[in-house]
Amino acid sequence: MAELSGKYLVGVYDDDDTVLHAVPKLRKAGVKIKEVYSPFPIHGLDEALGHPRTRIGIAAFMFGVTGCCAVLTLMIWTMGYDWPMIIGGKDPISIPNYIPITFEGTVLFTAFGMVTTFLISNGLGPGTHFHPRFDVRATDNKFIMAIEMSRNSMSEEEISRALKDSGAEEVNIKQF
Amino acid sequence: MHVTSPVREPLIQGGKTYADVTEDICRHVEATPTKEWKIAFGLSLIVLAYGSVCLAWTWWEGLGVWGLNKTVGWAWDITNFVWWVGIGHAGTLISAILLLFRQKWRTSINRAAEAMTIFAVICAASFILMHMGRPWMAYWALPLPNAFGSLWVNFNSPLVWDVFAISTYFSVSLVFWYIGLIPDLATIRDRATSKVSKFMYGTFAMGWDGSAKTWARYEYISLILAGLSTPLVLSVHTIVSMDFATSVIPGWHTTIFPPYFVAGAIFSGFAMVQNLMLITRVVYKLEDYITLEHIETMNKVITLTGSVVGVAYITEFFIAWYGGVEYEYYAFFNRMTGPYWWAYWAMMTCNVISPQLFWSRKLRRSITFTFFISVVVNIGMWFERFVIIVTSLHRDYIPSSWAMFSPTRYDIGDYIFSFGLFFTLFLLFSKYLPVVNMAEVKAVLRSTSAQLPAKIAGVAKVRQRGTAEPVYNKDQE
């Protein structure tokens, strides 16, 4: 998570269904929501918030293609050109024998590439644990909605009321 | 509003709230180690120490300390390797294949099963290093330039495929497991009171905040990792079986090996999961999370894979006779009636007959019986590998070179080493990391809880210590 600054209104919900239904309601009322934090994935929440669909799958595919090519190239070059050898009466370059390692290499590159992309795109990494958070209960049993005041034209009272109306059990002000 | 189907029993019993889940799982991580844990840990350290001494002597003196001879050049080392790798497969099956099949019951057991996978693969890899005799040369198996030797590795060899398969399997499993751990580590970080645990869990949680965007990406990569791990786990044991199947030793040279090895791997792995989970659920009072339904479902998987293994044994035997190759026929006839007949029949009894007892609902819902059969299955699967390896080798083409294998103290000691290592690692895991995936259990709680949706949220219930009744007592029909 990136560093936070400014003034935030923080709505605390105690149920995943409530928060999921609150998001479209608040957006309709003109409240710009920064993000919702939850202890577990809530299906449909990212779409409700208007987050674009993740492109991590494209990255994964690219890493897979890279891995496949890299490993295949290594085998063809070493076995076929750098030190050609005939083993078991087969051609120096015998692709069927390279399939298992090509597969493993593809999986390895995809998994590591994708996970690295995941960590970087979410700003996850060692040394980030001193970053402030809106509410530590977001990893236990509460669902936290953060609203950045500087990005909203509505007044604090209006947003606070809208949050309460949508089912928030607490509304806190957080200043970073 | 979600509706709970009344037809199925709830996955999580006891009407848990989200806070209850956090509390029930984190309690064991936060508490000081119990006396039982310390005793168990001490015992595993002693076992590990004894095994390490044996292993050190094996490496110091050389592989001559094992009972190997010119005819039987592979024995317990490869038996143990295949056995441990096989055990690892269940964890990946639970975390990856059952995720693709949307089996929600896996959420209670996937964390511990994946940990088991990782530790089992470490044990398996230790036998690869052992059987090299000169473990400091292990890097020769990697594709390194000629300066390290005169040649590149032979990419046509299944043994080299194995190096890639096992190392990919280990590292991808580790990454998959760790990604699943991050949200739970964040939960512990946010509850931590001491400076040390705040720092440690905070570092490993890597600043996780549970934002909707992060969760969406998390779910997406979990799905892709599961999709990658599924063919990966099948490829690993396929390649392990090719270590044998691509050679021209009668008894090894069969095309049935890959599917038969994979089924056997899942079979023995689930038995090990049962053994570990049955103990963990009692020690950590997780009876509400790992219910009789879970145990019964795993027993069904054991019966299915055990039956596949049984069919494979019989098919293999039939083809050895029907195929008309006399060496092939002799290899199998020798397994059944030769000097190692007892190993063959131990394998047949443990692997073919014992899982069939689970057709009885009463037996597969009995905890004691499940534990017993799981141990039997693991013994049987060890014998399977022993039978395949030693009895295929010990009588080769020239009767004058026929030999028997008998293990020495170092064969046994090195096997004991792997147990010490496995249990030491598993005990450390079960103390310092959450044994149940809290985030995933919370995610399935609403659709599977015994309680009305309105009761899921809210604060944790006060737990009366020492009075928690095991759920299975009232669940018995």
In angstroms, rounded to a whole number, what is the distance separating the alpha carbons of residues A30 and A69?
Answer: 50
Mean pLDDT of B416-437: 94
Q: Please return the burial class of B57, using the count of CB atoms within 10 Å of its CB with bins 0-12, 13-18 and 19+.
A: middle
Q: How confident is the model at residue B17 (pLDDT cuts 50, 70, 90)?
A: confident
Using CA coordinates, name the residue in chain B closest to A130.
B207
In angstroms, rounded to a whole number, what is the distance separating the alpha carbons of residues B427 and B92?
Answer: 20
Specify the pLDDT at position B465.
Answer: 44
Using CA coordinates, name the residue in chain A closest to B186.
A139
Taking the Cβ of residue A169 and every Cβ of chain B, the question of whether any pair is shorter than 8 Å is answered with no
CB contact under 8 A, B179 and A123: no
Mean pLDDT of B432-439: 92
Note the pLDDT tens digit of each residue in B162-179. Answer: 999 999 999 999 999 999
Interface test with B, best of A107, A115, A169 (most B CBs within 10 A): A107
Q: Locate all alpha helices (DSSP H) within B93-211, ordered by sequence.
A: 98-100, 110-132, 158-191, 195-205
SS3 category, B397: coil
Specify the pLDDT at position A154.
Answer: 82
Note the pLDDT tens digit of each residue in A8-58. Answer: 888 898 888 888 888 988 888 888 888 899 999 988 888 888 888 889 999
Specify the pLDDT at position B38.
Answer: 93
SS3 category, B250: coil
Q: Which residues pair with B211 in a beta bridge?
A: A37
Q: How confident is the model at residue B469 (pLDDT cuts 50, 70, 90)?
A: very low
Q: Which residues of B touch A111 (CB under 8 A)?
A: 171-172, 175-176, 225, 228
Specify the pLDDT at position B3.
Answer: 53
Q: Please return the burial class of A71, using the count of CB atoms within 10 Å of its CB with bins 0-12, 13-18 and 19+.
A: buried
In angstroms, rounded to a whole number, what is the distance separating the alpha carbons of residues A139 and A141?
Answer: 7
CB contact under 8 A, B210 and A37: yes
Note the pLDDT tens digit of each residue in B82-121. Answer: 999 999 988 888 888 888 888 888 888 889 999 999 999 9
Q: Locate all alpha helices (DSSP H) within B192-249, ordered by sequence.
A: 195-205, 212-245
Going from the C-alpha of A70 to that of each of A76, B158, B176, B227, B338, the distances in angstroms are: 10, 20, 23, 21, 49
CB contact under 8 A, B211 and A118: no
Q: Which residues pair with A8 in a beta bridge?
A: A148, A174
Specify the pLDDT at position A136.
Answer: 83
Q: Which of residues 90-149 of A touch B (CB under 8 A)?
A: 90, 94, 97-98, 100-101, 103-105, 107-108, 110-112, 114-115, 118-119, 121-131, 133, 136-141
Closest by CA to A41, choosing from A29, A31, A51, is A51
**pLDDT higher than threshold 50 for residue B470:** no
Specify the pLDDT at position B456.
Answer: 59
Domain with residues B18-138+153-459, CATH architecture:
Up-down Bundle (1.20)
Using CA coordinates, name the residue in chain A closest to B178.
A115
Specify the pLDDT at position B55.
Answer: 94
Specify the pLDDT at position A165.
Answer: 87
Specify the pLDDT at position A85.
Answer: 82
Specify the pLDDT at position B94.
Answer: 86
The residue with tokens 């990391």 is B433
Q: Which residues of A touch B231 (CB under 8 A)?
A: 103, 107
Specify the pLDDT at position A125.
Answer: 82
CB contact under 8 A, B220 and A88: no
Interface test with A, best of B211, B228, B229, B248 (most A CBs within 10 A): B211
Topology of the domain covering A7-52+132-175? Alpha-Beta Plaits (3.30.70)
Using CA coordinates, name the residue in chain A closest to B456.
A15
With beta carbons less than 8 A apart as the criterion, state whether A105 and A71 touch. Answer: yes
CA distance A108 to chain B (A): 6
The secondary element (H helix, E strand) that includes residue A140 is none
- Most confident of the ranges B20-34, B53-67, B134-148: B53-67
Mean pLDDT of B343-354: 93
Determine how β-strand A35-37 pairs with β-strand A143-148: antiparallel
Q: What integer best gives the mean pLDDT of chain B?
A: 87
Which of A46, A114, A139 is closest, CB to CB, to B210?
Answer: A139
Taking the Cβ of residue A163 and every Cβ of chain B, the question of whether any pair is shorter than 8 Å is answered with no
Domain segments of chain A: what residues?
7-52+132-175, 56-121
Specify the pLDDT at position B5.
Answer: 54
Using CA coordinates, name the residue in chain A closest to B437.
A40
Domain segments of chain B: what residues?
18-138+153-459
Q: Which residues of B touch A39 (CB under 8 A)?
A: 18, 22, 183, 187, 210, 438-439, 442
Specify the pLDDT at position A131.
Answer: 66
- Which one has a higher pLDDT value, B305 or B468? B305
Specify the pLDDT at position B146.
Answer: 63
Interface test with B, best of A3, A15, A40 (most B CBs within 10 A): A40
**pLDDT higher than threshold 80 for residue B37:** yes
Least confident of B209-213, B296-300, B448-452: B448-452
Note the pLDDT tens digit of each residue in B124-149. Answer: 999 999 999 888 888 888 888 766 66
In angstroms, rounded to a whole number, what is the distance separating the alpha carbons of residues B228 and B244?
Answer: 25
Q: Which residues pair with A143 in a beta bridge?
A: A13
Taking the Cβ of residue A49 and every Cβ of chain B, the question of whether any pair is shorter than 8 Å is answered with yes
Q: Which residues of B touch A74 (CB under 8 A)?
A: 143
Specify the pLDDT at position A156.
Answer: 84
Q: How confident is the model at residue B426 (pLDDT cuts 50, 70, 90)?
A: very high
**pLDDT higher than threshold 70 for residue B333:** yes
Determine how β-strand A7-13 pairs with β-strand A143-148: antiparallel
Specify the pLDDT at position A129.
Answer: 64
CB contact under 8 A, A98 and B235: no
Taking the Cβ of residue A7 and every Cβ of chain B, the question of whether any pair is shorter than 8 Å is answered with no
Specify the pLDDT at position B450.
Answer: 47
Specify the pLDDT at position A74.
Answer: 92
Q: Locate all alpha helices (DSSP H) within B353-449, ordered by sequence.
A: 361-364, 367-386, 392-393, 409-432, 438-448
Which of A36, A56, A74 is closest, CB to CB, to B220?
Answer: A56
Specify the pLDDT at position A172.
Answer: 86
Q: How confident is the model at residue B305 (pLDDT cuts 50, 70, 90)?
A: very high
Q: Which residues of A touch B160 (CB under 8 A)?
A: 101
CB contact under 8 A, B215 and A42: yes
Q: Which of residues 51-70 of A touch B (CB under 8 A)?
A: 51, 54, 56-57, 60
Note the pLDDT tens digit of each residue in A77-135. Answer: 988 888 888 888 888 898 999 999 999 999 999 999 999 999 998 888 877 766 677 88
Q: SS3 string of A34-90?
A: CEEECCCCCCCHHHHHCCCCCCHHHHHHHHHHHHHHHHHHHHHHHHHHHCCCCCCCC
Which of B2, B161, B191 is closest, CB to CB, to A100?
Answer: B161
Interface test with B, best of A118, A144, A174 (most B CBs within 10 A): A118
Specify the pLDDT at position B452.
Answer: 45
Mean pLDDT of B464-472: 42
Q: Which residues of B touch A17 (CB under 8 A)?
A: 1-2, 446, 453
Q: How confident is the model at residue B462 (pLDDT cuts 50, 70, 90)?
A: low
**pLDDT higher than threshold 70 for residue B256:** yes
Percentage of residues in chain B having pLDDT higher than 90: 61
In angstroms, rounded to a whole number, what is the distance separating the alpha carbons of residues B241 and B254?
Answer: 10
**pLDDT higher than threshold 70 for residue B34:** yes
**pLDDT higher than threshold 60 for residue B246:** yes
In angstroms, rounded to a whole number, what is the distance separating the alpha carbons of residues B364 and B350?
Answer: 16
CA B214 remoteness from chain centre: 30
Mean pLDDT of B401-427: 94
